[in-house]
Amino acid sequence: MKEWSQMAKEQWDQFAADWHQRSENMWERGSRKTILPLFTRYVRPEHGPVLDAGCGDGYASCKLARSGYEVTGVDIAGEMIRLAYDRANGRAENRIDDRVNDRANDQANEEDFRSQLSVQFQTGDISNLPFSDNYFSGILCINVTEFTPSPLDALRELHRLLKPDGILLLGILGPTAGPRGHSYRRLYGEATFQNTMMPWEAKQLAGENGFVLVEEEPVFKEGVPAELASRLSVELQESLSFLTLFVLRKM
């Protein structure tokens, strides 16, 4: 487990610069553009604090905070969290190439962004987080459980953190989504930091471990005709998706 976590930290630290360059487009115009509208239909600011589990560079966390939510963003990669601090402070553009004062400025960054938005960030593993039981009213977890050694442990931890009747919006990569390529080298016996859980498996696993499905929404791959796809079965829609979004309620 430790080897997997260390590999994930190192890989996501390396991906941080590229992710940061693409995150706004993903959330505003790309594959993630429907996620926050779906989440905010079920979870309102007055319901209580929310968790962005696997927050990356903090784009979604900050957008939710600007809409009045009290947000905690957690990511396994320290480089992502440093970018999230800067995004909350409006200093997101040039941070990734400035390493000189990273460590010394962490405390100052934390104080700065807390005065601007109701958002905080910290590094952490979503399978073992330092929050009280039944603390969050909603959790956003997009394409994260696929990168854990035990999706079951991750789901159980998210269930523990949710208030009764709280909402988990879980995003799972489709079978042929590009990022699934990170697991390919397992076929050569090499260690990878991605499991191969499919959308249908995630849905069943959640249902067997304290969640009830409220809504399912596919995000189709480019080139899939929406009109045609809408007439297909759920299983076929999942097979054509870049990712599938599951709205899950804690039982």
Task: Give the pLDDT of residue 4.
Answer: 82
Total count of domains within the chain = 1
pLDDT along the chain (251 residues), means of 10: 80 93 96 98 98 98 97 97 92 43 49 67 96 98 96 98 99 96 93 94 98 98 92 96 98 95
Task: Give the pLDDT of residue 109.
Answer: 53
Q: Which domain holds residue 244?
A: 2-250
Say which CATH number the domain at 234 has: 3.40.50.150
Task: Give the pLDDT of residue 5.
Answer: 83
**Cα-Cα-Cα-Cα dihedral sign, residues 65, 206, 163, 150:** negative
Task: Give the pLDDT of residue 100.
Answer: 33
